[in-house]
Amino acid sequence: MLKILNIVGARPNFMKVAPIYAEMKRRSADFEPLIVHTGQHYDAAMSDTFFTDLGLPKPDVYLGVGSASHAVQTAKIMLEFEPVVLREKPDWVLVVGDVNSTIACSLVCAKLGIKVAHVEAGLRSRDRTMPEEINRILTDSISDLLLTTSQDADENLKQEGIPVEKIRFVGNVMIDSLLRNLKIAESSTVREELDLTGKDYAVLTLHRPSNVDEKEVFTGLLGALLSISERLPIVFPAHPRTLARIEEFGLAERVASSNIKLVEPLGYLDFMRLYSGAKLVLTDSGGLQEETTALGIPCLTLRENTERPITIEMGTNVLVGTDPERISKTAFDILNDTEFGRNAKIPPLWDGKAAERICDVLLAQART
Ligand code: UD1
């Protein structure tokens, strides 16, 4: 029996851990899974809704760290998590993604000699100004098992000198959650509530500090988005950080009088219902690049780089950067191109069975 502490902290973690936890519960003779929530995200809309939508139980352990600077947040998670590890004595700690909770919990375990499995290992944007890139590099360098979503990630890890025995290409758990919930999300009434039924619309998410924290950059992006919104309405569920910046930079009125519909952050199922019907998605998120690729929806990534190049090589993602003219031109080109995405494919092992493979790998490790 393997005792596993599954770590969640921020919004993009919940849909990755949910299928893994469910699979471990299904194999209850082999696994004893617990959920540890660091509390990095704590708003109902950023956290609780996801537990309900994804059928996750209340966390077994809640660290309640909340928001702070990166150093303080990371340190607080470490301080709170160490006694939990000492008390629970898990066989493995499983971390996902690239948020501060991921590196903080991995680091605690590395020092205590507790084995860490990193799900979504090996992704690299090669942009070290991104906090997530630092979290990825550091977490991978101290994890015992590196579970990857695509083969380019395996290559990145090998190039960094990680022994191949530690690397396993298992596929994408985010797509497990997507495929499991697509039908369920049809019962969401979000399109009706936003008066979108039968209409073409785009969906926007924006929350990277590099895009929203500087007035000039954010205003430039908004200019491009306003011109696109004249062609089709844009629904914009905004992250708390982004909402705060809109107020701070005095942009609220410009948005309110436009065809951009600003709404509160949505739950997992409502958001899936929303983007799955969109003509176009514009985003700086990591996960949404993958979700749109899995569904064949055109996606413009408003960043200069991506750690998920497979979504561009095989899928429907286009990296457009933050130059307003380039963004609007590319958006109009895509909207005018009825053939766009015709040859796009779903990447290997994005098949809804990644969680099964992760459990298989953990069991196989225990037997060696
Ligand atoms: C974090 C992740 C990022 C991920 C994003 C998804 C890191 C380094 N970054 O960024 O990779 O894409 O989550 O949302 O871990 N806030 C609230 N309520 C909440 C959570 C946050 O109001 O429940 C506000 C606070 O003002 C906080 C700010 O959002 O200071 C930023 O939160 P934080 O967890 O530091 O990082 P994110 O920008 O959310």
The string of pLDDT tens digits covering residues 229-243 is 999 999 999 999 999
The string of pLDDT tens digits covering residues 254-272 is 999 999 999 999 999 999 9
Do 54 and 187 belong together in one domain? no
Cα 29–chain centre separation:
30
Do 210 and 109 belong together in one domain? no
- By annotation, the residues acting in catalysis are 207
Q: Please tell me the distance between residue 199's alpha carbon and the centre of ligand 1 in angstroms.
A: 32
The string of pLDDT tens digits covering residues 166-197 is 999 999 999 999 999 999 999 999 999 999 99
Q: Which band of pLDDT confidence, cut at 50, 70 and 90, is reported for residue 368?
A: confident
Residue ranges of alpha helices (H) inside 43-183 are: 49-54, 70-88, 100-112, 131-142, 151-159, 173-181
Q: Give a yes or no: residue 277 inside a domain.
A: yes
The string of pLDDT tens digits covering residues 326-346 is 999 999 999 999 999 999 999
The string of pLDDT tens digits covering residues 272-324 is 999 999 999 999 999 999 999 999 999 999 999 999 999 999 999 999 999 99
Mutate to test the pocket of ligand 1, among 14, 62, 99 (most ligand atoms within 8 A of CB): 99
Q: Please tell me the distance between residue 40's alpha carbon and the centre of ligand 1 in angstroms.
A: 7
Distance from C-alpha of 296 to C-alpha of 349, rounded to nearest angstrom: 16
116 φ/ψ angles, rounded to the nearest 5 degrees: -120, 130
Q: Which band of pLDDT confidence, cut at 50, 70 and 90, is reported for residue 81?
A: very high
Q: List the domain range (segments joined by +) for residue 158.
A: 2-171+350-367
Q: Give a yes or no: residue 178 inside a domain.
A: no
The whole-number pLDDT of residue 149 equals 98
The string of pLDDT tens digits covering residues 120-174 is 999 999 999 999 999 999 999 999 999 999 999 999 999 999 999 999 999 999 9
Q: Please tell me the distance between residue 166's alpha carbon and the centre of ligand 1 in angstroms.
A: 30
Do 23 and 149 belong together in one domain? yes
Mutate to test the pocket of ligand 1, among 241, 245, 306, 308 (most ligand atoms within 8 A of CB): 241
131 lines ligand 1 (CB under 6 A): yes
Q: Which residues pair with 299 in a beta bridge?
A: 281, 317
pLDDT over threshold 90, residue 225: yes
130 φ/ψ angles, rounded to the nearest 5 degrees: -85, 120
Q: Give a yes or no: residue 345 inside a domain.
A: no
Q: What CATH number has the domain bearing residue 129? A: 3.40.50.2000
Do 14 and 106 belong together in one domain? yes
Do 204 and 95 belong together in one domain? no
42 lines ligand 1 (CB under 6 A): yes
Do 47 and 142 belong together in one domain? yes
Q: Please tell me the distance between residue 329's alpha carbon and the centre of ligand 1 in angstroms.
A: 31
Give me 344's structure tokens: 């796009």
Q: Give a yes or no: residue 242 inside a domain.
A: yes
Q: Give a yes or no: residue 120 inside a domain.
A: yes
Do 116 and 241 belong together in one domain? no
41 lines ligand 1 (CB under 6 A): yes
Burial 64-80 (b: 16+ CB within 10 A, else e): ebeeeeeeebbebbbeb
Nearest to 350 by CA among 112, 171, 153: 171
Distance from C-alpha of 339 to C-alpha of 350, rounded to nearest angstrom: 23
Q: Whose CA is closest to atom 31 on ligand 1?
A: 241
Do 151 and 60 belong together in one domain? yes
Number of domains observed in the structure of the chain: 2
Q: Which band of pLDDT confidence, cut at 50, 70 and 90, is reported for residue 367?
A: confident
Nearest to 184 by CA among 272, 74, 311: 272
Q: Give a yes or no: residue 195 inside a domain.
A: yes
3 state DSSP class of 202: strand
Distance from C-alpha of 179 to C-alpha of 36, rounded to nearest angstrom: 25
Sequence length of the chain is: 368
Do 158 and 267 belong together in one domain? no
Burial of 241 (0-12, 13-18, 19+ CB in 10 A): middle
Do 70 and 137 belong together in one domain? yes
Q: Whose CA is closest to atom 7 on ligand 1?
A: 99
Q: Give a yes or no: residue 177 inside a domain.
A: no
47 φ/ψ angles, rounded to the nearest 5 degrees: -140, -65
Mutate to test the pocket of ligand 1, among 7, 16, 67 (most ligand atoms within 8 A of CB): 67
The whole-number pLDDT of residue 361 equals 98
Under a CB-based contact definition with an 8 Å cutoff, are residues 167 and 123 in contact? no
Do 106 and 217 belong together in one domain? no
48 lines ligand 1 (CB under 6 A): no
The whole-number pLDDT of residue 260 equals 98
Q: Which atom of ligand 1 is nearest to the CA of 244?
A: 26
Do 14 and 85 belong together in one domain? yes
Q: Whose CA is closest to atom 18 on ligand 1?
A: 43
Q: Please tell me the distance between residue 10's alpha carbon and the centre of ligand 1 in angstroms.
A: 7
Q: Give a yes or no: residue 176 inside a domain.
A: no
